[in-house]
Chain A
Amino acid sequence: MKILKIFIILFLVTSFSEIKSDEANDVLKNKILKNIRCLICQGQSVYDSESEFASSIKLIVNRKINEGLKEKQIYQFLREKYGDWVIFDPQLNQNTYVLWLLPLLLFLFGGAIIYRSLINKK
């Protein structure tokens, strides 16, 4: 009887942990799919699309997560196949550095102007 109780407890613990890991995988999958562009749709993510391309990508992402690949590795895989355009969130590289650095430069420049005007007022 005691052994049976231990088995039941162990069974419950393992099933709960499996459900939890499935939930975590689903959250990760949805996060990734929302950041992948459906290349044959107009401005839709793979998550929002029901096209054949999108459903194949959904299967691939699911498979890669089950294989144990990390989010960045999955993005890298898709980038290798379809280029940077497939990801909504652009990476910092030679084509996008203006996009990333311009707001920072404008912020610094604006800050410098405000600082100078404050100094002059004093």
Chain B
Amino acid sequence: MKNKFSLFFIVIFLSFCFVIFYKGLNTQNNYTPKVNEKKNIPTFKAKDFNSDSYINSDEIFEENIFYIVNIWASWCVPCRTEHPLLMQLSKNQSIKLIGLNYRDNFINAKKFIDNFGNPYSRILIDKDGTLGVEFGAYGVPETFLIDKNKDIIKKFVGPINQETVSEIELIIK
């Protein structure tokens, strides 16, 4: 009876370990950001790219429309590939694009905008990357879709593609 109990316990214990380790093997061990989690936009004060003055987040997102916050930098190669798509999105009247120039050199950033066009209604300077942290970003490029209630409803990590643009257009319709 005692032996049967021990055997039963060992089998249960080993099965339990097996399940835990098997699950562990199938779980990714690197950071996978939650892209569909609804979050409030952070409140912040940032330097404007064109006027050099400081603006509050309330003034930036004051209109009752959808906004896109795109984190970019002139040194970021994937930002160049997504730029034409941002230009395409900027033609949509029901959305405004806000650019967050991340850890960049001002002259290089200006050249980038002059060469490839400016899809943004406003560009903010994030010299030390701390504004990006407020948004929960961890690199460039990253794009956040903000709804009329001023909630971040979607996060796109990496460069956006045609599929992403269609998805955004479908949401803001």
Tell me the A residues contacting B by CB distance below 8 Å.
37, 39-40, 42, 52-53, 55-57, 59-60, 63, 80-83, 85
- The interface bits of chain B over 94-111 (1 if a CB of A lies within 8 angstroms of the residue's CB, else 0) are 000000000100000000
Main secondary structure of the interface of A (DSSP, over half): helix
Q: Is B130 a contact of A85 with CB atoms below 8 Å?
A: no
* Residue from A55, A56, A85 in contact with B31 in the complex, judged by beta carbons closer than 8 Å: A85
Q: Is A52 a contact of B34 with CB atoms below 8 Å?
A: no
A116 CB, nearest partner CB in chain B, Å: 11
* Residue from A42, A53, A55 in contact with B138 in the complex, judged by beta carbons closer than 8 Å: A53
In this assembly, does B139 line the interface, its C-beta being within 8 Å of a C-beta of chain A? yes
* Residue from A42, A52, A81, A82 in contact with B129 in the complex, judged by beta carbons closer than 8 Å: A52
Q: Is A56 a contact of B34 with CB atoms below 8 Å?
A: no
Known: A39-B138, A52-B103, A53-B138. Contact between A81 and B130, CB under 8 A? no
Which of the listed residues A57, A60, A63 has the most CB atoms from chain B within 10 Å of its own CB? A60
A56 to B129 Cα, complex, angstroms: 5
- The interface bits of chain B over 128-143 (1 if a CB of A lies within 8 angstroms of the residue's CB, else 0) are 1110111110110000
Q: Is A81 a contact of B31 with CB atoms below 8 Å?
A: no
Ranked 7 nearest A-B pairs via Cβ: A56-B129, A81-B136, A39-B31, A39-B138, A53-B138, A60-B133, A56-B133
Main secondary structure of the interface of B (DSSP, over half): loop
* Residue from A40, A56, A82 in contact with B128 in the complex, judged by beta carbons closer than 8 Å: A56
Interface pairs (9), CB distance under 8 Å? A52-B129, A53-B138, A53-B139, A59-B128, A60-B130, A81-B135, A82-B136, A82-B138, A85-B31
Q: How many A-B residue pairs have CB under 8 A?
A: 40
A96 CB, nearest partner CB in chain B, Å: 13
A115 to B86 Cα, complex, angstroms: 70
A60 to B31 Cα, complex, angstroms: 20
Chain B residues with CB under 8 Å of A52's CB are 103, 129, 139
CB-CB contacts below 8 Å: B125-168 with A: 128-130, 132-136, 138-139
Given contacts A39-B138, A56-B129, 5 further A-B contacts (CB under 8 A): A40-B139, A55-B129, A56-B103, A56-B130, A82-B136
A82 to B30 Cα, complex, angstroms: 13
A81 to B129 Cα, complex, angstroms: 14
Chain A residue at minimal CB-CB distance from B6: A113
A39 to B138 Cα, complex, angstroms: 7
Which of the listed residues B129, B132, B134 has the most CB atoms from chain A within 10 Å of its own CB? B129
A80 to B130 Cα, complex, angstroms: 15
